[in-house]
Amino acid sequence: MSTTPNLLNEAPSPASAFDRLRQTKTISEQLEEAKDHPTPDNPTFNTVYRFRINNKIYVLEETLWRKGQRGRTSWINQHGWFFVHCHDNQPGASFWACRHCDLKSRVTLFDAKASSSASDHLRKIHRITKASESTDSETSSDAPLKRPRLDFTGLTKKRVKTIQESTVGLIVDANLPFGIFQNNYFQSLIGQLNTQVSTLPWSRHTLNRSLEDLFAEKREEVKRELTTAATRIHLGFDLWTSSNRHAIMAVTAHFLVKDKGPQVRLIALRHQLGAHDGENLASTLDEVITEWEIRGNIGVVVSDNASSNDTCLQSLYSRINPRMTEKDKKSRRLRCFGHILNLVSKAFLFGKDADSFERQSDAYRLLQQDEEDLRHWRKQGPIGKLHNIVKFIRSSPQRTQRFKRIAREEKASQPGDFLLSHETQREVELILDKLQDGTQPI
């Protein structure tokens, strides 16, 4: 007999103290790992994947079925798995494991000689009976079975994939933890809606793996879009510092697709290591362009007005096409209109050196020198006066309450509250927004 990997045919070693303390993997999690070890064409007891359940070794019964074999047709098959105990490396008794208990990280095994114990368990604990099974499920159980999938749930592959994509999308879009779907209330809700969906693996490991698989799949789709675009690929990039002090560069691709119109794709979001000088930024952009295989199809690049970005794009276009003239390099460097408008607005509100004005105000605030800060703002005319009025109202809970009372008496449609943010520019924007809509009389 040919040798097989240790994972499949070696008896497990005695559990160490660390193993005893570590949380054991659920059956669903082990089924996910089993996907990396496909069932052989001619499976035997010593060549199929083995599961550790309650510190004992089992083999999934269906992996031992011969090709075209009918297998078990009991209705409890939709709510659990049948395992064969491995005793002295030989097949032993068969057991049924409850899928619903496994979702709650509990192990419930019943002797598979009869289905009565498992049926009673489903009825008493999970309120599931044979009568509640759908007609479709009963009909499908009578059809000849092909070799079963390890993750068989009674759902089609297409539907399982759609559910997984929606699940991963919810986690990413709502910034949820991977363990949210193991919540007992969520499992109860899904079980009430569709028992087949509730039997899908919802563990952290499964969802993490689904996210990685989906990312790789969508990445290839975006790459195909970029390579078949009807226009050149125009890029936009920007840098900022995250709350945990990481420098981040984001890169977006802008292009046209036939019959779909303008498209925008985020193609990079990565740490910017080292200094933020032009050459270093160009190296990061060059890596992104090479990674997406679009070096020969780059159009213009949009960024803000920082001088380092001028140097960056000079260097980048020289790397892409050493023959490009200085005139062409400059014509392909576009400046962000939003950034220009922001600079104009700040200059209009705070003068030529807006950054210096903000730093001085922040310093007064940090030192709690309120009178100096008020005088500092009075120099800004109407905007400064407006700022000081808001600061006066916000400096005391009693004044804030009085302001709200007066606003209600004046029958303001939305007697809200004025805000003072830590960022001076944003602070003034919030004030102006509230005054402009006419709901904040003073």
Q: Among 246-255, 256-265, 314-323, 381-390, name the one with the lowest average pLDDT.
A: 381-390
Query: Worst-scoring range by mean pLDDT, 239-243, 264-268, 408-412?
Result: 408-412
Structure confidence at residue 22 as a pLDDT band (50, 70, 90): low
DSSP label at 76?
G
User: Residue 61's closest CA among 204, 7, 76?
Assistant: 76
How far from 4 is each of 46, 147, 387, CA to CA, in Å?
Answer: 8, 22, 76
Q: Is residue 138 pLDDT above 70, yes or no?
A: no
pLDDT, residue 413, reads 52
Q: Phi, psi (5° rounding) for residue 348?
A: -65, -40
Is residue 175 a contact partner of residue 216, using CB atoms and an 8 Å limit? no
Nearest residue to 32 (alpha-carbon basis) of 159, 212, 189, 216: 212
The confidence score (pLDDT) of residue 297 equals 92
pLDDT at residue 233 greater than cutoff 80: yes
- Which pLDDT score, from 0 to 100, does residue 298 have? 93
Percent of the chain with pLDDT over 70: 75
Least confident piece of the model among 70-74, 136-140, 153-157:
136-140
Mean pLDDT of 72-86: 86
Bigger pLDDT: 71 vs 17:
71
**pTM (2 d.p.):** 0.54
**Straight-line distance from the first to the last Cα atom of the chain, in angstroms, rounded to the nearest whole number:** 90
- Above 50 in pLDDT, residue 388? yes
Using alpha carbons, select from 226, 221, 177, 172 the residue that is nearest to residue 202: 177
